[in-house]
Every structure is written in structure tokens, then in C-alpha cells.
Structure 1
Amino acid sequence: MLKLSTSRTLIASSIVVLLAGCAAGNPYGGQQQQQGGSNKTAIYGGLGALGGAAIGAATSSKKDRGKGALIGAAVAGAAGAGYGYYVDKQEAELRRSMQGTGIDVQRDGDNLTLIMPGNVTFGTDSAAISGSFYGTLNNLAQSFNQYDQSTIEIVGHTDSTGPYQHNMTLSQRRAQSVADYLRNQGISGNRMNVRGVGPDQPVADNTSAQGRQQNRRVEINLRPIPGAYQ
């Protein structure tokens, strides 16, 4: 009876811990994240934990039943949370590694966007990556290799100063430079999509110097690979 009670206690404890962890969700949930994302992670992660604990206990020997419940709950809880759990982890890692680099990490539901200001990434009117930015791109490549269940869309943007076609070409070349560098760091070209939109998608007023600086940027959009998580 004592062993059975211990096993049940371990199962209950594992479920409570996993539910609490999932409910806490993303530490950055209040920043650029749609409401309800963490709740979905908690619901599916908790249900997975319940099922996993039961399976883990059932498939373990009587001696290791409590340990099996803990392992089953942890594995199934993560899987049950699906892409929401996955992107929680990736977001936290990107925020940590991009801190102090000038790169802004934004989240919208299960989608992540990295905003790289043009003055940080490139010289004026140039598509050559600044030498000081290589370390940041290396960190990005490491994260993209670790978290490989997302597509990578790289979009170049400019302000409206100068000829339109020149800006379109420059934005494409800058996005391509980032893609080429990431590919050299082991990122599969099949995951990446590259395009330049020139001045067509401003985020600020082009009539001010500050606004134009905000518009000169490269964005990297991370989206779930279709079918990777159900």
C-alpha cells in the first residue's frame, strides 16, 4: 500500500508541476503575443501530462512506476503543448541571445519576428554585412539550427529616399546577404524565403530622419513548418 501511495503521489505531483509550468507559459507573454497563446499551451500540455503520466506508470515495473509516471508526464506534456511550447522555448532563447545587439524580438501568436535595423546590419547604401554584426548572425544561425521546425522568411526594407527601383534592388540584395550568411552557417536553403520590398512597407513616417531610420531594416519571420506539429 505504501508503494502504491508513493506512486500516486509522484503522478499527482508531476501533473501539478507540469500544469503550473505550462500555465506560467511564456515569460514574455505580455510583449507582442496574442492573448490566449499561453492558455492553449497550458491546456494541451496539461492534458498531455495527464496521459503521459498514466502511460508512464502503466508501462513501468511496479518498482519504477513512480519514476515512469514522471518521465511519461514530462515527455507527453511537451508534445501535447505542440508548437506553442516549442516557440515559447525559442522565443526565450532568442531574447536572451539578442539582448544588447539592437535586434528586436516580437511575437504574434506562434509567429516570431526579428527586426534588424539597417544601421546595425549594413553600411549606408550597401548590401555588405557589417563585420561587427557577424557574431549576432552566428548566434541566430545557432538558434535556427537548434530550433529547426520553422520556416525562415527574410525581408529587406528601405526608406523612400532615392529612386524607387534602386531601393527595391537594395532591399533584395540586403535580404539575400543575410540568407547567404545563414546558409554558410549550416541553415538549409529549403527553409528560407528571401524578398525585398523596398519602401513599400514602412513602419514609420519617412518625412523624419528618425522615421526613415526605422524603415531601413531587415526582418526575419519565423513560422511553423506545415505539418511539423499537429
Structure 2
Amino acid sequence: MKTSRILLSGTAALALLGTSACVTDPNTGEQKASRTAIGAGAGGFLGYLLGGAIGGDTGRILGAAIGGTAGAVAGKQFDDQIRELDEQTAGSGVDVEEVGDGEAILVRLPDGVTFASGSAQINPGFYDTLNTVADSLIQYPNSLIDVYGFTDTTGSNALNQRLSEQRAQAVADYLAARGVARSRMATQGFGEQYDYLRVKTADGVAEPLNRRVEIKIIPITQEDVEAARQGN
């Protein structure tokens, strides 16, 4: 079905109008609206991005045996990883951006490409891109990884909630199969929530672009490791 234009969904559109925050693509120099800023401006519309790790970080840091690094080094690793991921996934439809003030890296897998409608099976054509993401996670091991699943609005809420959880789990399973420590990862499904973009189709119906998975990479420093060991 031919699309005529892209529309931000209601809450996100208001947030976009209320903020001028932009990010610059390091490959093209192009300015674009920061989805993180959109979420913050929407009063929690995308608040899950700015929250802590799923289930808290103390147990996961200890379970994953994350070593941590000194603050300055951790900052450099964050900058290197986000730059490399952006370069290595260019042209794949993947979005890579900073969440908050260096709090995390968000890797948003594209809607309608990673999964077919109603399916939690990863499209084989997307394996190479996921391999790139897995390689980055292995190269930079001092982080926790949250995997979020979403669906469009086709089907019941209950069905879509399960499907979103299955999609997040499918991506986590794939990353684990590529060698990413499963103890670093947690998954969560949001069903039909957070349909951040809508496409206005030729018949005038605004359909959500929401059949996607997001990977949130949360850097862990030596200070975080020490706090976890002390039970803080």
C-alpha cells in the first residue's frame, strides 16, 4: 500500500513541537529530531528509555560478572561503540542513538523488516545486521542489555502483548547464540504501546509503525560494579 507521508503519533507529535533538540548523524551530518528528546518532552511517552535496567542492575552486574572500567575509559568506550555501531549498520534501516546524557545506547531495529506481521521469527535477511550488533556487544562487554519488543495494532491486546515478548526473546536468543552472555540480557514486551510513528496510507488511515525491537545498551563502570558488590 502506497504511503503518502509520515506522521508522528499524537503524543509524540506534541513533544516534537515542544522541543528543538536534535542529533547529528556522524556519517551524513544530517540533523534529525532526537527520539530521546521526543520521549522526554512527552512526559514519559518514551520514559522506559530513560529508566534503569529491567529488573535493576545489581543482580545482573554480579550475575554477568561484569568487570567495569574507570570512568574516563568507560566514556571513551561509549563514544567508540555508538560511533562504530552507527557506521556498521548504515543503510540497514537501524537507528543508533544516545539515550539521556550518556546513560545508554539505543539500537532500534526497523519496523516491518525484522519481523513479518504476526510473527516472532526473525527475517533471515536481517541476520547480518544482528551479527554486527552481537559482535559489538561482545567487543564491549561492560554493559547490560535490555531488549524491548513491540507490535502493531493488528489482533487483540493480549495476543500482541505475547507477540511483543516473543519478539524480544527471539532477538535475545539470537544474540546469545552468537556469543553474547545471556546473563547480561533481559527482555520485555510492550505490545501495542509506544507507536512512535504512524504512516498515513493512500486511503487516509494512519497505521502505526510499531513492528520492531529495540536494544538498549547500558554501560557499566567500575563504580557500578563496586556498588553492586556492596549491595547498594
Contact 1:168/1:196, CA 8 A, preserved across alignment: yes
Q: 1:140 aligns with which of 129, 133, 137?
A: 133
Q: Which residue of the partner structure matches residue 159 of structure 1?
A: 152
Question: Residue 210 and residue 106 in structure 1: after superposition, are their counterparts in 2 closer, same or farther (change >3 A)?
Answer: farther
Q: Which runs of 5+ in 2 are unaligned?
A: 1-24, 37-68, 228-232
Map of 1:191 onto structure 2: 184
1:136 partner letter: T
| Greater Cα offset, 158-167 or 201-210 | 201-210
Query: In 1, are the aligned partners of 2:117 and 2:211 still within 8 Å (CA)?
Result: no
Deviation at 1:202, TM superposition (A): 2.1
Summarize the Cα distance change of 1:166–1:191 in structure 2 as closer, same or farther, 3 Å threshold. same
**Partner in structure 1 of residue 212 of structure 2:** 217
Could you give the per-residue CA deviations for residues 170-200 of structure 1, whole angstroms, max 9, x where no partner exists? Answer: 1111111100010001101110011111012
Which consecutive residues of structure 1, in runs of 5 or more, have no partner in the other structure?
1-25, 35-77
* Code of the aligned partner of 2:75: G
TM-score, normalised on structure 2?
Answer: 0.61
Question: How many percent of aligned residue pairs carry the same amino acid?
Answer: 38
Label 1:80 to 1:201 Cα distance change in 2 as closer, same or farther (>3 A). closer
Q: State the Cα distance separating 1:159 from its structure 2 match.
A: 1.9
Q: Which has the higher strand share?
A: 2
Q: Kindly tell me: are residues 225 and 203 of structure 1, through their superposed partners in 2, closer, same or farther at Cα, counting changes over 3 Å?
A: same
Q: Deviations over 1:36-95 (max 9, x none)?
A: xxxxxxxxxxxxxxxxxxxxxxxxxxxxxxxxxxxxxxxxxx956243221100011101
User: Which residue, out of 81, 105, 109, partners 2:96?
Assistant: 105
Work out the CA distance in 1 between the residues paired with 2:92 and 2:76.
25
Task: Please tell me whether the aligned partners of residues 141 and 185 of structure 1 are also in contact (alpha carbons under 8 angstroms).
Answer: yes
8 A contact 2:115–2:211 mirrored in 1: no
Amino acid at match of 2:214: E
Aligned counterpart in structure 2 of residue 180 of structure 1, from 153, 173, 176: 173
**TM-score (normalizing by structure 1):** 0.62
Task: Give the distance between the partners of 2:110 and 2:152, measured in 1 at CA.
Answer: 12
CA deviations 1:102-150 (Å, max 9, x no partner) are 1011112211101112311112211111110111111111100001111
CA distance in 1, matches of 2:225, 2:89: 26
The alignment's C-alpha RMSD in Å is 3.1
Structure 1 residue aligned with 2:110, among 117, 136, 146? 117
